[in-house]
Structure 1
Amino acid sequence: MELGLLLLRLLLAALLIGHSTQKLFGWFGGTGTAQIFDTWGFTPGARMVVLAGALELAGAVSIAAGFLLPGGAAVVIGTMIVASVATAPNGFWAQRGGCEVPFCYGALALILTVTGPGPWSVDHALGLSTGLSGPLWGLIVLLVGSAAALPPLYRRRRVLKARAQSTAR
């Protein structure tokens, strides 16, 4: 189980690093992300891409190291909620541009919060792993991540509503 938690943390962190570097550096086919963000209503797209990429990278580092894991998980969950809402109109499955990938990343971050980072982590080395994990911490992290997702989603809603009104004129 110890090795399994480490591998799960490292796998999720690697995927999040790939996701963030697509946004921040255009790696792995990530060019044009600012235009996509603008289309989704996250304006200005270029700034929002940097913010999303930086948050994903910070969450990835926290999860990889198992350092203050609930904080990193909350960041990942909040970011993935925003991404899930933007892609949900395409359905669930990724092949149609749906929310499958951000949903899974957020769910894995939540699961790691409930289980804890395991003994091969900074939190464990500092004696924090048992105090910062479990179902209550999972609920707290889910609530904090959800609350953090509300401002960009509210702003997106306003942008999309204004666009719809200007198009109707």
Structure 2
Amino acid sequence: MPNQKFLGAWSPHLLSLLRVIVAFLFMEHGTSKLFHYPMQMGHIPPFSLFWFAGILEVFGGALILFGLFTRPVAFILSGEMAFAYFIAHAPRGFWPLLNHGEAAVFYCFVFLYLAAAGGGPWSLDRLLRKAH
């Protein structure tokens, strides 16, 4: 069994690592919508819901990645993912695995956690707080 003291000491740093990894993965959804990278999503009409989702995913994801305004941005992204789930996935059926909404549910709750927990010690939020 892992040493609880060791794991407890690393908990804040693992929060920052979770934030960075999740934000990087989340940004790929936006870059696919807006820039067709790393995969092509087809034509997304400007100012459509899908386009606005891409904007939130790229720029909100970047803010989360760097840990800047983590709490409010994570709260907004959590709402975006809840909205995405209920608009795009839930109408296809109840179970997230079957309606392909498990990623939206996952991101929704990770961002909700980050809205409550903050960005951790490796974040620009922490750096700016120390500067004042």
TM value normalised by structure 1: 0.61
Tell me if the contact between 2:60 and 2:77 (Cα under 8 Å) persists in the aligned partners: yes
Residue aligned with 1:126, SS: helix
Q: Share of identical aligned residues, percent?
A: 32
Amino acid at match of 1:92: W
- Note the aligned Cα RMSD (angstroms): 2.0
Return structure 1 stretches of 4+ with deviation > 4 angstroms.
Answer: none
List per-residue Cα deviations over 1:6-45 (Å, max 9, x = no partner). Answer: 21011111111111011111223342364xxxxxxxxxx5
Structure 1 residue aligned with 2:5: none
Which 5+ residue runs of structure 1 have no aligned equivalent?
Answer: 35-44, 129-169
Distance in 2 between residues matched to 1:33 and 1:16, nearest whole Å: 20
Q: Which has the higher contact order (CA 8 A, sep 6+)?
A: 2
Structure 2 residue aligned with 1:78: 79
List per-residue Cα deviations over 1:33-65 (Å, max 9, x = no partner). Answer: 64xxxxxxxxxx542222110111122112111
Correspondence for 1:4 among 3, 14, 19: 14
Change (3 A) 1:58 1:121: same
Change (3 A) 1:71 1:30: farther
TM value normalised by structure 2: 0.77
Counterpart check, 1:107 vs 2:117: no
Tell me if the contact between 1:58 and 1:72 (Cα under 8 Å) persists in the aligned partners: no
More off after superposition, 102-111 vs 82-91: 82-91
Distance in 2 between residues matched to 1:112 and 1:119, nearest whole Å: 13
Matches within 5 A, 1:56-67: 56-67=57-68
Distance in 2 between residues matched to 1:73 and 1:24, nearest whole Å: 20
Which 5+ residue runs of structure 2 have no aligned equivalent?
Answer: 1-10
Distance in 1 between residues matched to 2:68 and 2:111, nearest whole Å: 13
